[in-house]
Amino acid sequence: MTSSSWKTVPIQSSEITPKHLYLRRREFLKLGTVGAAAAIVAACSGSADSTSEVLPSATRIPQIGKDEYGDPLTPYEAITNYNNYYEFSTNKEAVAKLAKNFQTRPWTLEVGGLVAKPRQFDIEDILQKYPQEERIYRLRCVEGWSMVIPWLGFPLAKLLKEVEPLGSARYVRFISVARPEEMPGMRSSFYPWPYQEGLRLDEAMHDLTILALGLYGELLPNQNGAPIRLVVPWKYGFKSAKAIVKIELTEQQPQTFWNLIAPHEYGFYSNVNPQKPHPRWSQATERRIGESGRRPTLMFNGYAEQVAHLYSGMDLMQAY
């Protein structure tokens, strides 16, 4: 499957698939239903609990129910109740409860640095301006577990083109929100807050790289990075910064959160590479949430055909 195969199809209100059908996935697939994941509805409210809201505009790709390998979606309950989000807690099963009252409105995303037209984007304007596509992506955690998630989002490249990157821009830096009064995990002085991540500009401009606004046809739950997060499916999940407030284009490679903490364990690229072991565990296999046993880890998380050319000539054991 190549990146050019991501084709979007406008949806009609009659094609909406309710979440309860998604959650009854086996029955849903057995019936052969291919309903759409989201619909054009009223604009988002300021409520902190956004899990019951659907996106105001969306398009979809015809892959409802499975990814391109035929693997079924991870259940909604697992995706929204097993979360790596250290700003709230290091306990994955505690994040959802602790994030319940996190405020996602109002929200502004600042985009600047080495660009011709720096801008501030209001989240409501982003929701209305950029039609969301459904992208069924695999998420692979460096700790050895994985999920298949039906994200709703749009290519990051669309937003970056609006600010017109300068010729000197080579990297993109992402900075997450810092609100220790709402995010109890940030009260730990061990971590170099705020959370920050980075990509090469060509990685950021790749069609697979998206800014996600929702999943399972609804706005992102707080625990999954609301209101806007990065998703880079061929990299380990920690590269996908959550609750982003600033994007900055730079000439120099930016520092990243986990690389600052443990550079010998977390490199800048963090591509899924089963041949490159983490110093404390193997990356050769993974545990798909909801399944028993383990499965082999795929190079670039299964997206080698689309992204391997980005790293031509590089030693991926050194550039990890």
Q: How far apart are CA 165 and CA 118, in angstroms?
A: 9
pLDDT for 64: 56
pLDDT in tens, 105-144: 999 999 999 999 999 999 999 999 999 999 999 999 999 9
pLDDT, residue 306, reads: 98
pLDDT tens per residue across span 165-203: 999 999 999 999 999 999 999 999 999 999 999 999 999
Q: State residue 98's pLDDT score.
A: 98
What is the tens place of the pLDDT at every residue in 219-228?
999 999 999 9
> Which amino acid, 111?
V
Lowest mean pLDDT among 58-67, 145-154, 206-215, 298-307: 58-67
Pick from 189, 289, 176: which is nearest to 240 by CA? 176
Q: What is the C-alpha separation between 244 and 226, in angstroms, rounded?
A: 9
Instruction: Give the per-residue pLDDT at 65.
Output: 79
Q: pLDDT tens digit string along 70-105? A: 999 999 999 999 999 999 999 999 999 999 999 999
Q: How confident is the model at residue 269 (pLDDT cuts 50, 70, 90)?
A: very high
Predicted pLDDT of residue 55: 56
Instruction: Identify the residue with better confidence: 35 or 118.
Output: 118
d(CA 315, CA 105): 43
- The confidence score (pLDDT) of residue 9 equals 33
Instruction: Show the tokens assigned to 247.
Output: 């994007």
User: Global pTM?
Assistant: 0.84
The mean pLDDT of 52-74, rounded to a whole number, is 67
Tokens 């999940």 -> residue: 237
- With 0-12 / 13-18 / 19 or more C-beta atoms within 10 angstroms meaning exposed / middle / buried, residue 287 is middle
Q: By C-alpha distance, which of 36, 43, 48 is closest to 9?
A: 36
List the domains of the chain with CATH numbers: 3-311 (3.90.420.10)
pLDDT score of 60 more than 70: no
Length of the chain: 320
Report whether the peptide linkage leading into residue 18 is cis, meaning its omega lies within 30 degrees of zero. Answer: no
Alpha helices in 207-303 (DSSP H): 257-261
Query: How far apart, in whole angstroms, are the C-alpha atoms of residue 81 and residue 99?
Result: 11
